[in-house]
Every structure is written in structure tokens, then in C-alpha cells.
Structure 1
Amino acid sequence: PALYCRSNFASACGNADAGQEVKFAKGTTTLAFKFNGGIIVSVDSRSTMGYYIASGTVKKVIEINPFLLGTMAGGAADCSFWERNLGMECRLYELRNGRRITVAAASKLLANVMSAYRGYGLSMGTMITGWDETGPQLYYVDNDGTRLKGKYFSVGSGSMYAYGVLDNHWREDLSVEEAIDLGKRAIYHATHRDAASGGINNL
């Protein structure tokens, strides 16, 4: 049975060309969007390893500092480590310069690190969001060093379903209640259709 499980995981998730016997597939749905009242971040809580549900209570929103949040999609270890590392860099910036780092600068720091480690097998798709003197800001950063500014993003295996809801119902003049409902509804539809997304909705 142990050998069967090992070969099962290897055949389902492995990458023989890279000499890596087991490569765990990831699945999630995370989203964030701006509106006149601020920013909504909405995520599911399921963690998967191939066809196996590893956990249903994963915290996918990481507090970088009191004014910055990051989301987790891809490899949990990569997201957790590098976003906490970003928190340290943001604190160092604040101590050196006597003021808080902007959301744009924080996202650029993370994108630069990802670009430097490109090709090392990192797996990360995150949204860096928060508030600074210019107002609420939202950026997307991934493991290739891509950095995009936008009004709404969704990342993960269920993102196409979440985008379907956001594309139809998002607008800048949403009330706080409407924005909360939209965040919940987008994650609900994604978890309903995407087997790798599920658990509870953290918003």
C-alpha cells in the first residue's frame, strides 16, 4: 500500500523530466478588488496536493504590516516565506526613511526578488494590497517577476469562475454591503465549480 500511494502520487503529480518524483499540484481561489469605499480581499481556505485535500482551514491572507496585505496562491511555503520576508523589508524601509513604504514600492520589492529567483522553481501568485498616502492600491505579483496594477484581480485554479462574477457585477461605486456580497458571491461560484477550491470564505 505504501508503494502504491507513492507511485500514485508520482504518476498524478510527478515531473520525470525535471528529476522530481513528486510535484504537488496546487489549487485555490483568491481575489481582491478596489471600490470607492476601499478594498475587498476574499479567499477560500482549501489546500490540495494533487487530488488529495490536505486542509480546509488554510489562512490565505497574510498580514505584511498593519497597512499591507498579501494573498496566497501557488506554493504555500513560497508565499508564506517571501511575503513575511517582504514584511521585514518594509519595516527596515520604515526605520531607515522615517516613513511607511508605499504599496507600489512594496510590490516592486517583491517583484524584484521574484525576478532574481526566476527559474529556481518558485510557485507564487499573490496580490499585494493596502493603503498609503495616495489611497487604496492593488497590485498582482507572480513568481516570474510580473507586476501589474489594477482595479481587480483573481488568482488560482478557480479564478476564471471568480472573474466571471467580477466582470459582470463589479463597479467602482459599490456600497460596502454590495462589495462584501460581491466578494462572497465570487468565491462561492468558484468553489462550486472548481474542485481544488473550497472550505470557508475569509473576507
Structure 2
Amino acid sequence: APGRDLAGSNSNSLANLGWNKGMHRKSNLHTDYKGKHYEQCGYDTKGKQKPSHSVSVRRPFPLSHGTTTLGFIFQGGVIAAADTRASAGGLVACPAVHKITPIHSHLVVTSSGSGADCMLWERILTREIRLYQLRHKRRLSIRGTAKLLSLMLHPFKGTDVCVALTLCGWDKLIYVCSDGARLQGDIFSVGSGSPYAYGVLDRSLSWSLHKEEAILLAREAVFRATHRDAYSGNNVDLFHVTAEGWRQRQREDLKEEYYRDMEKRGIFNRNITVWSL
């Protein structure tokens, strides 16, 4: 309306819309950087970096994941086994990942947790073990390796880093978690399918198992877990670690184990072709 002053009642409306009296757009860049954006980038409101090793970024939705890995000791060495399914919530992200990684000739590591975190820390561990060997002209022991990994992971306790590694040497089995926990034992199973795998292992595992019996037991434990756990499945990888080094078995499709189990029960026969109209 004529006669109304911009410096009067309309000035408040302009200010609320982000304009000044000269009809120039106000800039909130400085305010944003001192506030929200500083915090998201790991800085406080004064522009100083926060004393944190990892910047946590809120995910737009919860991303659950699962797996089945196991390892146990018997009179013939150590058996390590795992499925090959990588899951992201209800999605099968990859059906053929490698969850057992050789670190050196006498040590393999089973991994569970976030796929990216596990791959990163396995590479870091491999590098540190190699550097130790070059400096000291000898290989770091399994206990020393577990202690080193635990010390490296401990500063990330309370962050979103999710790593659970089982170190399988030829005579030792040590579990290391991303909060720095370090446990030694004769049998470990980690992941969403571990309760089912433990049920099979606790029933049949003994020190006096022969090599083929131990391999069959590990394969059956992974199969039973993947049969009940939706986050595990596809194939089974299996390593046998002895004083001579590790040896990998050929990857096997778990559906073959399923068919063998059904035939054993007399429920299914693959040699019979069923025709349907």
C-alpha cells in the first residue's frame, strides 16, 4: 500500500525472510559453519577439532548385517570356516565374499561385522605384521598379533567401527573385537548364525577328531547356521591350519550340502526327475 515504510512493519517481515533493509540476501554461511556444519565435520563451535579418532555420521536408516564364522582346535591343527554372503539389511549385497583372509603362511583371520571395516583392519594388520618381520627378522607370534590388533582397535571403542576378528594360528585361537576385547579359547563362532553353529559344534566336537571328520563337522555347522539364519548363506569357505602352514579347501555351494542332508533323511532324491504340468 502507498505510504508504508520499508523500515517500519515490513522491515520485520523482510528480516524474517532473510533480507536486509537494502533488499540484499543475508548470508548464514558463517553461522552454519560455526554451528551444525562444524559439528558434522568433527569440529566444535569455535572451529577447533574435537579429540576423536573417528567422525560418526548418522545413517539415514539402520543397516543390519549378519554372518556365520567359526574356528576350533583339534589334534590335527585348527579349522576355520565361514559362509560367503554379505548382507545389507534385507538385501544380499554379494553372495561370494571372502570372510577368511590369510595374514601370513601360518595365520588366517575370520571376519564379521561391517565389511568395509573388516577389510581395512585386515590390511592394516597384514602391513604391521610384515613390517615387524622386516625389522626384527622374525615373525610376530599369534598372541603378539592379537595384542597388537587389540591395542590398535581400542581407541575406536564407542564409535561406529564394527570389527570382530578371530585369529586362527596353527596352535592358538584368539578372538579380538573392535572395543579392544581379546579372548583366547578352543572354539569360537561369531555372527548372527553363531548360535546354530555352536549347537552343532558343542554336540560333536572333540580333540581326537581326524582331519576329514573335523572338516565335515565345520561344514555341517556352517550349513545348519545358514539354513536357519537369513543373513548367512550361499557357499562355505574352509581353511585348515597346521604347523606346515594353511591350506584352503575348495569352495562348496551350500545347496549341495542341503541335498545331501535331504537324501540322508530319505526326503529327497536328486536322481528322480519330477515332471509337472
When normalised by structure 1's length, the TM-score is: 0.87
Instruction: State the partner residue of 1:33.
Output: 72
Q: Pick the aligned partner of 2:98 from 56, 59, 62.
A: 59
Distance in 2, matches of 1:83 and 1:122, equals 13
Distance in 2, matches of 1:125 and 1:171, equals 25
Q: How many residues align?
A: 182
Distance in 1, matches of 2:190 and 2:143, equals 19
Q: Give the AA of the match of 2:137.
A: G
Q: Give the AA of the match of 2:95.
A: G
Instruction: State the partner residue of 1:167.
Output: 202
Per-residue CA deviation, residues 5-31 of structure 1 (Å, 9 max, x unaligned), is xxxxxxxxxxxxx73213421111000
- Aligned pair in 2 of structure 1 residues 62, 182: CA closer, same or farther (>3 Å)? same
Distance in 2, matches of 1:183 and 1:126, equals 18
Over alpha carbons, which structure has the higher Rg?
Answer: 2
Q: Pick the aligned partner of 1:176 from 211, 215, 224.
A: 211
Q: Pick the aligned partner of 1:87 from 114, 123, 126.
A: 126
Q: Which runs of 5+ in 1 are unaligned?
A: 1-17
Q: By percentage of residues, which structure has more helix?
A: 1
Q: Does 1:141 align with 2:180?
A: no
Q: Which runs of 5+ in 2 are unaligned?
A: 1-56, 239-277
Shift of 1:150: 0.5
**Alpha carbons 1:62, 1:80 under 8 Å: kept:** no
Q: Does 1:112 align with 2:147?
A: no
Shift of 1:166: 0.8
User: Which of the pair has the greater relative contact order for Cα pairs under 8 Å at 6+ separation?
Assistant: 1
Q: Secondary structure at the match of 1:87?
A: helix
Distance in 1, matches of 2:99 and 2:58, equals 30
Distance in 2, matches of 1:195 and 1:137, equals 31
Distance in 1, matches of 2:62 and 2:177, equals 19
Q: Please list, as runs of the form range in 1=range in 2, the aligned pairs for 1:70-81 lying within 5 A after superposition.
A: 70-81=109-120
Instruction: State the partner residue of 2:230.
Output: 195
Instruction: State the partner residue of 1:7.
Output: none
Shift of 1:198: 0.2
Query: Larger deviation: 58-67 or 180-189?
Result: 58-67
Shift of 1:113: 1.1
Shift of 1:116: 1.6
Cα RMSD, aligned residues only = 1.1
Percent of counterpart pairs with the same letter? Answer: 43
Per-residue CA deviation, residues 143-178 of structure 1 (Å, 9 max, x unaligned), is 111110000100000000000011111111110011
Per-residue CA deviation, residues 43-100 of structure 1 (Å, 9 max, x unaligned), is 0001111011111101111111222111121101111111111111111111121111
When normalised by structure 2's length, the TM-score is: 0.64
Per-residue CA deviation, residues 100-147 of structure 1 (Å, 9 max, x unaligned), is 11011101111111112112210111101113xxxx111001111111
Q: Give 4+ residue runs of structure 1 displaced > 6 Å after superposition.
A: none
Distance in 2, matches of 1:64 and 1:79, equals 13
